Structure 1
């Protein structure tokens, strides 16, 4: 059986590299690609693919938003989320949103290919440590870290603020208006009960959200 893969990532070098790697397999072929979330959602809705590989962070509409919308169309879609983020927070969000698997971009190629094949056969893949965290991280609300209540986009903005990127540049990076980014910042401060960016930076550092 030939596995038809759809690939969405805004970095051309990564897409081209992954296509070359998959081209060396006998049973996997890339049948479509996209450079941003909106393009990905539009093309994915046309069908013709078995497994979709989505980058978590894409301009305009991030991978998580694409995932949620495509799963609303059909919860049986097989989607593998790829990310440069190694922390569990993103992985947990994607799995809860309906992803069949989550891998970081520095994962071994053999594992990536194995996971694609598993998904094509209707299976799922989850890191054992992450599976345990999902199963047992059911403590009282008081123990939930403040950043857990942020939306996916708010978490993106929080991390960009934490590395010192001005709101105007954040708006360009995420393809949002400056006013919208400012609104996100206000919501983040309110939800996390903080007063300024310095507190946000300290929080992100202490909780190692950028690792």
Structure 2
């Protein structure tokens, strides 16, 4: 029996995933977590064969949780789930040690297949993600991270802060929306400005407009 821990902050999503996995006789959901610390605590308790982890999580985003899990449990397969376009986070997740990446729009058969695959030690990727991986490596296996557009070098949380700053939100408003302290948001803001190469929020907003125009 494959023992699954589901980590997603939305109860209705966790229930939906449980219903999907219930279709497989060899899969059992043994735990649910609504946040990263809870997921790590349950992983420490043992009895988990694979973690299904949502990327968009409160407090600590899914990529941060992934790094923590792989640091403490390097052999525990983590299957990332997301509603974001594959190109935004798939390659980044796999580089951080995810055993697979699956969009939440996937059908039940594909999700069950993904759980089985990563539990057997195989990497699960869809054809679209495979294309992204191929594009992420240049001739001779050279990573192409340095060739990526500036805004695509941001972490998940940095990208969230970037979008909200570009929309004219204040540090306080962003902190309230993302359930973070203002100091933490200010730290993310400083990282965003540095990575994009702008000096203030006005230049950041202009940069966002240019990216939108480029599609």
- TM-score by length of structure 1 reads 0.87
1:167 aligns with 2:171: yes
Indicate how the Cα distance of structure 1 residues 29 and 142 shifts in structure 2: closer, same or farther if over 3 A, else same: closer
Partner residue of 2:90? 91
Q: Aligned pair in 2 of structure 1 residues 173, 47: CA closer, same or farther (>3 Å)?
A: farther
Q: CA deviation at 1:5?
A: 0.4
The secondary structure found in structure 2 opposite 1:45 is helix
Stretch of structure 1 that moved more, 127-136 or 77-86? 127-136
Match of residue 77 from structure 1 = 76
Give the distance between the partners of 2:168 and 2:90, measured in 1 at CA.
24
Gapped runs of 5+ residues in structure 2? 139-143
Counterpart of 1:198? 205
C-alpha separation between the residues in 2 aligned to 1:113 and 1:201? 38
C-alpha offsets along residues 11-67 of structure 1, whole Å, 9 cap, x if unaligned? 111111211222232111110011111211221222211111000011111111111
Q: Does 1:183 align with 2:190?
A: no
- 2:145–2:153 contact (8 Å) kept in structure 1: no
- Could you tell which deviates more after superposition, 153-162 or 3-12? 153-162
* Structure 1 portions without partners, runs of 5+: none
CA contact (8 A) 1:38 1:60 kept: no
Shift of 1:175: 2.6
Q: Hey, which of these two has a bigger chunk of helix by percent?
A: 2
SS in 2 for 1:58: coil
Counterpart check, 1:16 vs 2:23: no
Equivalenced residue count is 207
Report if aligned partners of 1:146, 1:191 keep a CA contact under 8 Å in 2: yes
Shift of 1:117: 1.1
CA RMSD of aligned residues (A): 2.2
Q: How far apart are residue 204 of structure 1 and its match?
A: 5.2
User: Which segment is superposed worse, 120-129 or 106-115?
Assistant: 120-129
Alignment partner of 1:107: what SS?
A: coil
In structure 1, the partner of 2:62 is 63
Q: Deviations over 1:68-102 (max 9, x none)?
A: 11111232211100011014131111000000110
Change (3 A) 1:207 1:52: farther
Aligned 8 A contact 1:81 1:94 in 2: yes
Question: How do 1:105-144 and structure 2 match up within 5 A?
Answer: 105-138=104-137, 143-144=147-148
| More divergent stretch after superposition (199-208 vs 109-118) | 199-208
Offset of residue 167 of structure 1: 3.1
